[in-house]
Amino acid sequence: MTETQVWALVFVALTFALYIYIAWRSRVKETKGFFVAEQNVPAVANGAAVAADWMSAASFISMAGLIAFLGSDGSIYLMGWTGGYVLLALLLAPYLRKWGKFTVPEFVGDRFSETVRSVSAVVAIIVSFTYVVGQMAGGGIVFSRFLEIPQAGGVAIAAAVIFTYAVFGGMKGITWTQVAQYTVMIVAYLIPAWAVAHAMTGIPIPQVSFGRILEELNALQAEFGLDQYTQAFTARPQLDVFLVTMALMIGTAGLPHVIIRFYTTKSVRGSRWSALWALVFIALLYTTAPAVGAFTKLNLLDGVQGKAVDALPQWVQNWQATGLVAVSENAETVNSVTNNADEFAAGNADLLVNNDILVLASPEIAGLPAPIVGLVAAGGLAAAMSTAAGLLLVISSSVSHDLYFRYVDHHASEARRLGVSRIAMGLAVLVAIYFGINPPAFVAQVVAFAFGLAASTFFPILVLGIFWKRANAAGAVSGMLAGLVFTSSYMIYTLEVFGTEKHEHIFGISPEGIGTLGAVVNLVVTIVVSMATRPPSHEVQEMVEQIRYPSEREETHA
């Protein structure tokens, strides 16, 4: 076992033990504790939990890699995800918290009808499953490299730990575990970034210093026959850049596992403060990611420039064992890497590097010591597991609270409902393991699909449900189904999913960006059908009016 593997094992074992200990101390026996942490989480802690829940493996593992390979066009992920969080915090979260329910489908059911609730519960399960696939795949990547465990085994281990602490404590256990995971994640992200920034520029503040190396990076990219790093619209058409950014933005505002976080605070005011704290915590990583991408890309290109295949840096050999880096004289023979990688000339061969390894490999590429490499491994797992736990809770709550309790056994006891939730979570883990081992694309792209599905289903219905009293059940059901079918059909059409044939993008629109158009379809269908059918009852319209104008007492005690 190498020194790097020893340190990775130490950090991973310590953090896993911490997560399980926190969950054991936070174990619950009531549904309110399981679903919304007894609505008693302080704003600062909830802000850290929101940040950990939202900053998934895509943010930690994949985003800086995408920025490194896409250059300027990679900013779509920064703008979309950050802008979407602000949209959620200002436009939806306080009103949904005032409603005071456990889940998004429960709000939709009260606002529209039980039929809409059922549809939204199924959609929440679909979106969450799509999202959790990326987290499981990210965890498998960490295990396969740093502990030399096959990716399938790594996914299974990560899933087992997630299931253990999620099933013990539900939302209460997950919340406090995510506070710890955010701490691990941000420390593991910032320390290497500071070290690399200082080594390359003499200034240990990556947000400030990475601008100094962009001119050198542009010149080096040109030597490799690549587009300038800072040049816009080289990787994606301008239209697609806009559509992907918008899909990520409104998709963020419609994600059930993030929205449910705002139900766990003590008050409406607490939900607003937790949103502010979360934005601060998120900004620490998101303002660092562009620097990590630029520094790592420069180190990568500089390290392989002019090198013969047998003289490539050691990190290439280390990552080749995972199948995520390959050196071949015939790039077409490298099947596991080519769809999700950038290609560089290395001697007389091609070096192919998967998007998902850049952050994890960054300390090795920069020549940092083994303890930092091991710390990054623990951070990557924390990012994947924190979000996966929240997603699994959404799935279990949708099955137990929104489907089983409503339609199978309306008089189910607390113990039975908790049992059903835990069984549903166990089944969800098994499905997530399978798709985590066999993901349809790289981590950030799979996550982007989930955002697109959330954008085309939940966001229009939530906005209209809060701000337009005339929206009714018929319109909501029609709009959600139209948005879901339109968006998922295009994703399947343009990807090799479920054995389908991959087709070219229509008008250059990627499957990550189609959610924007799906949201427009949803919005139009909902408005047209609502106007053509009977309006909601007077009581529902009054309820919608009251949710937007909280009294002083509600602000303090809701």
Is 322 part of a structural domain of the chain? no
Give me the number of domains the chain comprises.
1
pLDDT score at 425 = 81
- Confidence grade of residue 339 (pLDDT, cut at 50, 70, 90): very low
Rounded to the nearest 5 degrees, what angle is found at the Cα of 543, between the Cα atoms of 84 and 407? 85
Is 337 part of a structural domain of the chain? no
Rounded to the nearest 5 degrees, what angle is found at the Cα of 415, between the Cα atoms of 413 and 421? 105
In this predicted structure, the answer to whether residue 552 has a pLDDT above a threshold of 60 is no
Name, in order, each residue with C-beta under 8 angstroms of 389's C-beta and a sequence gap of 6 or more: 53, 162, 165, 166, 174, 177, 178
Among 16, 84, 60, 5, CA closest to 450: 84
Q: Which of 101-105, 114-118, 263-267, 270-274 has the highest mean pLDDT?
A: 114-118
The mean per-residue pLDDT over the stretch 513-523 comes to 96
- Alpha-carbon separation of residue 269 from 43, 101, 330, 503, 556 (angstroms): 9, 16, 59, 48, 7
Q: And the tokens for 72? A: 């300027």
pLDDT tens for 359-407 read: 888 999 998 999 998 899 899 888 877 777 777 777 887 787 778 777 7
Domain that holds residue 25: 3-92+103-295+366-557
Cβ proximity of 380 and 61 under 8 Å: yes
pLDDT tens for 97-149 read: 777 666 778 888 889 998 998 898 888 888 887 777 777 777 777 877 777 77
Is 13 part of a structural domain of the chain? yes
pLDDT > 70 fraction of the chain, expressed in percent and rounded:
88
Is 357 part of a structural domain of the chain? no
Among 260, 255, 173, CA closest to 458: 255
State the Cα–Cα distance between residues 97 and 95, nearest whole angstrom: 5
Is 349 part of a structural domain of the chain? no
Residue carrying the six token digits 């990557």: 380
Is 351 part of a structural domain of the chain? no
- Confidence grade of residue 513 (pLDDT, cut at 50, 70, 90): very high
Q: What is the DSSP string of 258-281?
A: HHGGGGSBSSHHHHHHHHHHHHHH
3-class secondary-structure state, position 499: coil
pLDDT tens for 410-420 read: 777 777 877 88
Is 458 part of a structural domain of the chain? yes
pLDDT score at 70 = 85
Is 356 part of a structural domain of the chain? no
Q: What CATH number has the domain bearing residue 109? A: 1.20.1730.10
State the Cα–Cα distance between residues 399 and 378, nearest whole angstrom: 31
